[in-house]
Chains A and B, each alone.
Chain A
Amino acid sequence: MILPVLITDQYVSALLVDGEGDSFDIVGSSFFKISGSSNPTQPVLTKNSLIATLKKSFKNFPNDDDYKLIKVNLDDILDCCPIPHIFLDHYHFNNFNGWDQSDIDTYRNYVHYQIDIPKELKIPIDNKILIKEINNNMDALLTSNQVLVVTPGTSDIDHRTYIKELVSEFAQNVKIAGVWDFTLDDQVGIFPFLGVFKHFDFDIEEYFEKNPLKSDAKLVVAPGVREIEYTTEEGKTEKKTLEPNSITTIPIKSNKVAKFKWKSPKSKFEGELSGSEIGILIDNNDRGQDG
């Protein structure tokens, strides 16, 4: 068995992988926040304390000789992910331009005491990182319709609300028409997962082509569209008028597909779209000349 582990100063993400030959199965995953040590002269997490915690997390943890621990290094693994990804690491943020002094103090206290950062602080952090990441990854975003959002420490807040707000922030910063599926990874499982591929020297791109990620939110950017028509798998056709410059949710769930039709001077579409956990978000905000 393989135990790929990502360790940061704030959290640990680990997978238990059963694999040999050219295939593998993930039999367990674990994410936990590291609590500080009372003894600052010693490391917070030793190998023994890590294994002891993981033994409690995983059922059927193998005996000592039956697994190989692989420490995943974030710097090495970030470039291995074939899907455009945005790492919203709320614990390691330092671009405080425009922040109030008291918000900076609050944020840094929360990070130090390893308290979950409140949503009111997460959203402005998300926005800053999103702007930068979108600009850095625009080429990849144009050619891919999947976006992986890695956001450790958001398991405490309502995912549906959070991802809706996150996608809305993303939409504000994207200037082109298009369709994107968002997957939220709040356990940072992607990085140990990539560690497995690296270890076995498997083809990562081929894997993700055959196994697309589950869609937690689907965003359609359709500038200027005022009316859409869609037909569900059950054969029901609906026409919907969209409020101008808004984001409207169409209730098509994951594993469901609907046929869509719309037209505007800047956006035209006729085809099938699959749903997501929170439905399909249609953003018809005008994007100016480039949208």
Chain B
Amino acid sequence: MAKVVKKNVFFPDKVPEKLLKEVEEAFPAGSKVDPSKEVKTEIVPPEKIHVEYAGDPILEAGETVNEDDIIAVKKSFLRKEKTTSPVKGVIEEVNEIEFIIQPDAEEEDDLSYSVPFESKVKNMSQDGKLILEFPAVQINLFDAKGKSAIGKIRFIDSEVFRNKKKTLPDLKDAIVVADYIPADAYPRLSTLGAKGLIVNHMESLSYDGIIILAVPIGLITGFGDLKADSKITKYLKSKDGEKVWFDAEFKRLVIPDKKPPTWTKDYKLDLKKAGVL
């Protein structure tokens, strides 16, 4: 079984529902795309609303109002009749019969979309995923668990994790790669902003003991005290800082690479050198 292969990889990227149409138009099947191109949708302000009132207004034009705030009151002998605002917004005008209120725009998340990798669009799937294709080096992991993640490779010396006195670096958005980390270092990774962890080796009981998966974790070579493959290590170090896809579901690390080294075509681990045999 090849440990490392060079291949074209398909990456299914979930597109925000509100942008599906725009993305499909901007990124048609067969087009080349890259992360610099962003699809945005304009925020259309909501229409003004007219609220008829009874009695006397207690707010003026220009004032802000929240939903259910009282804007007018009519006093009668027995009771007060109140008019409340149905929305949060700004009072644009108050005339003799009505308030004209400009509602606040809803806060929209994800009103922009860009692809994570330089790639070619295969198609848009029926469940709203943009299928991207790109050349990559794929490292087939020994095992992995957790949800898949995209992040930038950060190669960290294991000594940094072993030595509790050492301050850990900022690992924001990183897919951390290390030869080994002790199991008690794993929980600290998510607090440092890491998106994933890939180690060369770990004891099986420690690995099994990681149940709360704040970030996905993967093993390259196996269980026990095993040597890292020098070619793989050198390649990963050369990619430090680049965006990669840790596909934990299929136990692989995908590194986009237009010109991968020839050895990555179909590379098998030397199990004897690694210490497996």
Measured CB to CB, the residues of A under 8 A from B are 35-41, 101-102, 104-106, 108-110, 112-115
Contacts and interface: CB of A to CB of B under 8 A. Distances in A.
B276 A109 contact: yes
A105 B180 CA distance: 15
Interface string B260-277: 000000100001000011
B250 A41 contact: yes
Contact of B5 (A36, A38, A102, A104): A38
A112 B222 contact: yes
Interface string B111-146: 000000000000000000000000000001011000
A38 B276 contact: no
Q: Which of A108, A110, A115 has the most CB of B within 10 A?
A: A108
Interface in B207-242: 222-224, 226
Contact of A109 (B2, B222, B251): B222
A39 B223 CA distance: 22
Contacts of A108: 204, 222-223
B252 interface: yes
Interface in B1-42: 1-2, 5, 7
Interface residues of B, number: 21
Given A102-B224, A105-B204, A38 B140 contact: yes
Nearest to A104: B204
A101 B250 contact: no
A40 B251 contact: yes
B69 interface: no
Nearest to A102: B224
Q: Which 10 A-B pairs have the closest CB atoms?
A: A105-B224, A36-B1, A105-B223, A38-B2, A109-B222, A40-B250, A109-B276, A41-B250, A38-B5, A105-B204
Nearest to A41: B250
B138 to A, nearest CB: 8
Contacts of A105: 203-204, 222-224
B271 to A, nearest CB: 6
A106 B224 contact: yes
Given A36-B1, A104-B204, A109 B224 contact: yes
Contacts of B204: 101, 104-105, 108
B224 A40 contact: no
B203 A38 contact: no
